[in-house]
Amino acid sequence: MKLSQKLSILADAAKYDASCASSGTTKRDSRRGGIGSTTGAGICHSYTPDGRCVSLLKILLTNVCVYDCLYCINRASSGVQRARFTPEEVVQLTLDFYRRNYIEGLFLSSGIIRNADYTMEQVVRVARTLRVAHGFKGYIHLKTIPEASPELIAEAGRWADRISINVELPTQADLEKLAPEKNLGRIEKSMSVIKARIDQSKAERRESPKAPGFAPAGQSTQMIIGATPAKDSAILERASKLYREQKLRRVYYSAFSPIPDASSDLPLIAPPLVREHRLYQADWLLRFYVFEVGELTTQAEPNLPLGIDPKLAWALRHRERFPVNLNKAPRELLLRVPGLGVRNVDRMLRIRRWHALRLADLTVLRVPLKKMMPFIVVADHSPHLLEKDATMRAFTPPARQLDLFATAPASVESGEF
């Protein structure tokens, strides 16, 4: 098989992995005319530890896999066309793309060939050859296999900027049903080993900057949404636990895509993409807005509402906490005002040292004033909160707007909500 054919198969197979920031961008395919889309060649974007956005060659080493995860197009029982790169081919492709300035790094994942250690050895060989034999200084993200030996995972972290292990589904019961070869305990144990190595490397580098690094961009994971009846509360609980205990940099949420010849244990349709979007928003609230999972979902409503963002939903459930006086409230409470993002909260705290905030100040800050008005008090504004149903109506976007959400990329990294 020609290299270009392998690239086409293995770049396409890698697109289902969302733990690389722009994996949802398949809408503008230049093969149908036009220029500028690089997704057909497996190029995606990710963020380095210093916040730069870099383009990565995103491919699988192979889509051959001995595991049979039911939600996966590459599972052993799938009828897809198979291909396999040699490590040397991946090295060559990476260097060729890099020299032509198409990419700044590599995202490499793989199906399980023979067993976990054999596969990991091949993946690590790519990274080692790039770093040692070619002095490659670009970004490398390696997907690791939890069952691989700790020595191989340690070597992966030595060469890679970021390593990730996909947790895939939020509960052990879900894994047993759809991915029986995988085990949540083993996955978390491997994540703990990686976390300990990252911590150790940071401590050593504080002593001596010349000490070898270990995955300086940290570790991440991916969860598939909608392949099982798991509620958003379970998904967010799992994510929150991983952030807390494993210090993950990111949890990515990937809406399940129905696959050909699928098992009857899988749903026939994909969940609405807006659900993925709401989970990213809730994830953001957990990490930067000091929310707890139990505040974003409740026993009565274990799923996030699709029609409004989770912070607004929380505010509508807790109307007794509003209106918030923007001139007096502490930072934690300001962060809970719908429409106010972290950056604007910090700007407002600086402004109010000099004078009382007025509506004109909020206009200059470009906050979504219409959304915020019922929830805030400033020097020249004090609202009477609307009656609950009317407030819900006022904030529920019409169906047409929901469609727009559904086609938007999942990332909410710049969003204020």
Within 10 A of 369 (CB to CB), how many other CB atoms are there? 14
Q: Least distance from C-beta 74 to ligand SF4, angstroms?
A: 4
Question: 169 vs 324, which CB is nearer to ligand SF4?
Answer: 169
Contact 110, 122 (CB under 8 A): yes
Question: 69 vs 334, which CB is nearer to ligand SF4?
Answer: 69
Among the listed residues 228, 213, 203, the one whose alpha carbon sits nearest the alpha carbon of residue 156: 213
Fill in the DSSP letter of residue 80: -
Question: 72 vs 152, which CB is nearer to ligand SF4?
Answer: 72
Strand order in the sheet with 53-60: 43-47, 53-60, 105-109, 139-143, 162-164, 219-225, 250-255
- CA pseudo-torsion sign 291, 292, 298, 303: positive
Q: Least distance from C-beta 166 to ligand SF4, angstroms?
A: 7
Tell me how far the alpha carbon of residue 350 is from its chain's centroid: 32
CA–CA gap between residue 117 and residue 74 (Å, rounded): 19
Q: Least distance from C-beta 67 to ligand SF4, angstroms?
A: 4
Q: Least distance from C-beta 144 to ligand SF4, angstroms?
A: 12
Contact 285, 310 (CB under 8 A): yes
Q: Least distance from C-beta 247 to ligand SF4, angstroms?
A: 24
Please, which residues bridge with residue 377 across strands?
Answer: 325
Fill in the DSSP letter of residue 121: H
For residue 233, which amino acid is it?
Answer: S
CA–CA gap between residue 192 and residue 124 (Å, rounded): 20
Question: 65 vs 184, which CB is nearer to ligand SF4?
Answer: 65
Question: 77 vs 414, which CB is nearer to ligand SF4?
Answer: 77
Q: Least distance from C-beta 218 to ligand SF4, angstroms?
A: 21
Contact positions vs ligand SF4 (CB under 6 A): 65, 67, 69, 72, 74-75, 111-112, 179
Phi first, then psi, for residue 53 (nearest 5°) are -90, 125
Question: 179 vs 274, which CB is nearer to ligand SF4?
Answer: 179
Q: Least distance from C-beta 347 to ligand SF4, angstroms?
A: 44
Question: 73 vs 217, which CB is nearer to ligand SF4?
Answer: 73
